[in-house]
Chains A and B, each alone.
Chain A
Amino acid sequence: MIPLLFIISIVSFLLMTMAPGDPTAMFVNPESSKGAEQDLSAIRDKLGVDKPIYVQYAKWIKMIVLDGDFGYSFQDGRPVLEKIVERIPATLLLMGTAIFISFLIAIPIGIYSAVRQYSPLDNTFTFLSFLGISIPSFFFAIMMMLVFSLKLGWFPASNMRGDGGNLPTALDILYHLILPASVLAFGLVAQYSRFMRSSMLEVIHQDYIRTARAKGVTEGKVVFKHAFRNALLPIITLIGLQLPHLFGGALIIEQIFAWPGMGRLAIGSIFIRDYQVIMGVTMVTAVLVVIGNLLADILYAVVDPRIQYGKT
């Protein structure tokens, strides 16, 4: 696990520093007459970005390994960890809601589609899932915003909070959450339901299902007791793999709905080449991917007695 993270860090550091653009560019704005007459070489020296890449990397990895520190943002000098932690609640709320709702909706759809394969409703769901998978999220988000926010005026278009209207804070946040969470959920339901459908289909054609039916077990019991529980196994893996999304946020959706989460932090720091923050966000996500996979493997063993680790 450690060597893996190490390699990830090297690759991302290289990609980031070799990409064109200069972190000090944000200190000059040629569009403003109040142009900062800053000594850019001094800033480069302070940030250490004038050093060769391997020196920069050595400095960064030393800071991580020895001090357990993500360093300070180039932009405002705040600790990277503080900037990341500050974003977690917003992202967790948005992604958690979207993922939770998606599973709630996708699992019944998946089961139904498998049991009534090629029925008109299954075909409809299939059509909708392909739509959900293939519509670019930024387009769908803007459409939803135009329809539900601008035309119908049901939901706010941006941000996580209103400006102190009559709603209590929790309801206010919920009110702002609906639109971005639905857009995210639409895409996720599409994926999860396809996954559930195929997983369920695979199980339904197993011999023991036929045996159960042959024994005269009711169809409901066959589907939910025999088939569904077995079909859930791959879904559990899927849940484990959602962990990085849960904390990593949705880059595009957060940007469009001005949701103050990790995704926006990532995009913002990439645009201004804030290396420390980019690395911080990348590493947090990488760690979560690794943990998510590990968790999925462990869960798999827990729920499926056929799988055991360490014994051959």
Chain B
Amino acid sequence: MATAVDRDQSHTTEDLYGVRWGRLKPVKTEHYTYYESFYLDGVEYRVNDAVYLHARDGPPYIAQIAKLRQNIVNRKRTMLVRWFFRPCELPPRLPDVDYSENSKEIFMAAGSQHTKSFQNPGCTIKKCTILCTANETWNRMPSAEEIAAADHVFDRAFDAVKLRFNRLDPSKESCGEFLRSCFIKEKLKVERSDRSGQEVKGNREFRKDVIGRGTNSGSQSNMVNVVGPRNQFSGLQADQTSRRVSSEDPTAVSFTERKAFQRSEGWKRSSGEMLDDQRPTNATRVDLKRSSKDAGHDIPTDSQKRRRLDSFRGTVQEKNAHVAGGYREIEKARLNSQTRDMSVLPRDRPSKIQLIDGNKFSERKHEGTEPYTSLSNRSNKTRINQVGGAREAAIPSRLVREGVPPPSTGKNRLADQHKSSRILETNLQSQPVRHHHSSAERARSSSLEHRRSEGAVREGPRDERHGAYPDKAPSLKNVRDTTWDMRQAKDVQMHLKHQHPKSTTTSSRTQYGPQVRGDRTYTEDALRPSAKVEKSRDNAEDEASRKLKPGPYLEDLFERPDRTSGRSFKASENHRSSGAVVSAPVLERAFSTGANGELYVPSKKIFKFSWDEKKIVEEAVSNGRALLLKNLDPYLNSVELEAILENVLDITCDVRILPPRCITCYKSAEAIVIVKKADIAEDVLRTLTENILTISENERPVLASRFAKPKESIENFHGFFNLEKFGWKINASVEQKNAVSTSHCAQSNTVEYEMGLHWRLIQDRDATAWKTLEEEHAKDLQKLKGKYLKLLR
């Protein structure tokens, strides 16, 4: 519920756009002062409130207010928000995501340090409810009713750079402060806000100054600049009633937990001192810009002036229209006139949207609000159903134990898989888990039984370890397809041309298209769903089939290892014939082990995001975290190798196959593996030297060593002469110079040609040597094989 306007705040002036700023926080940094809240049409928006930022037609952005601050120098007021992704904003076909329109689940944005560069002057803002349902000790697990009442729930963070899901981790620098301040210490926060009431007096003088400036400047325009993630919405989920997250059950956090967090590192920082320059990651700015005459830093353009006039006219109507609902509606006619090229822009391109410039509300209130209510009613029903489905997700896992496939089909089946696997995942965590619902306990017990029954079949210590890394999702990690980068963008452009043959001009693209580099990854991914959707719009059948079948590899991920295992290993065949091997359960997450701990990685067309930072390698090599794996199958991909290592050795690592040592001899490959700590590297090295890891069917043993390759440098290149080095200055024209330096075939009567012949000789000799060596090696191996064959006989 919206809190009532405090009496003591009434002296705070309202600016032209109806924004009234609340109390100042006692905290103050060198450049900024902080506010606790602001009022808009009698609704208080506090820090940590979840809000919808409605930027255009379609579902709004979901964000949570992180900071409200004002620059001391230029008086610019800024709202920093943390974004949440809707499923439709994620890259398509992630196996664990429910892409349906009514899905309540959202994902916290993480990973990127870059803020968005494009700005939306003006947007509507409205409260909503977000609940954290992460099954962690720090989290107060909301009840089922709360979840049903909430607009959105989240329990994972999506890394927009690495394109993978992260666990919510309050100890992490990036999102820790946010999580702690929003969801953990709710009681503390309330206490603090009470306390801060007394401290307001100290800041009153300062605020008077602010107010005085505000009132003196006669013509001020507040521009709400929303810098937001790209909108790619397909469904509306908006409630008319506003709720506050922070007001929910503040007593839920127990004292001991709070103590634990106080002890934990970095708690002090989160407990009220807003360190300013550390913006929350992925936080984006909503600027409430004030352009006053005396400040003179913002010269209003003609269009802004016009808008201001409009806004004066519309104030009364706005006020009336806004008593009931929290939504500020876009005046569509003006929107169209101002952003004509926006409306023709492709929906997936980040665009500069001018929505409301403050206080012109909709005169056509009914048109705007009715669809929301009807849709929200509908989605509420379905949401509750979905929550129910999540609770009963223990059933599939039990069925799997008995070897019966889950009875649901199509989308529901996939959703069930998704939910149930996540429940299993959370239950497997080593941390103590609170049980809020009995079905989760059932799921846990059943999954444990299931695990035990499997463990009886498997040999070695691997089986227990296999279950011990719940937060690893190899299938999720490797979502990135590197070819997407350039080609995909082209595809989408092509497609859009097809859709808007006239309107998608280059000018609009140049205006809105270019992104800063940090955002590029994200935006390109956001391009993908739109491309898919728009493609499938052409034929309804395609769309229907896509809904049923979210990705070609999803089925493959849960594929059972039948033929390959039977063929390659006799031992496993025996097991299978005796019926001891449990059929690979659906919940086994992309990998299934047979007897002897063999492991089958169905390789996918999924590739990791580019891994080209040489700093990573340099640092890892100097810290002793880098390993070199030799004698690999040349057909192996980095992703496959990473998945193999993660499953066989139970490590998290970065893997790259290195370029071939010699392009004429490519019978074996090598790879660099970077693990997280030096002692893990030692462990891995020991494991791999004591045991032997074999990959692929021809059972070639993998050799491991520390990574100690000589660095490539220009000095290693021989045979490229710079004539000026010899003191020879070419007194020739530019053309002649270029003729020497550009590529050319050497003429047979030149010195160059003779020298080149020597090099060619070396090349040929080298190729022959490699060939001979290869043959010799093959003979050696053949001999060895023969020896053991004889022994077997």
Are A and B bound to each other? Answer: no
Using a CB–CB cutoff of 8 Å, the interface residues on chain B facing chain A are: none
Using a CB–CB cutoff of 8 Å, the interface residues on chain A facing chain B are: none
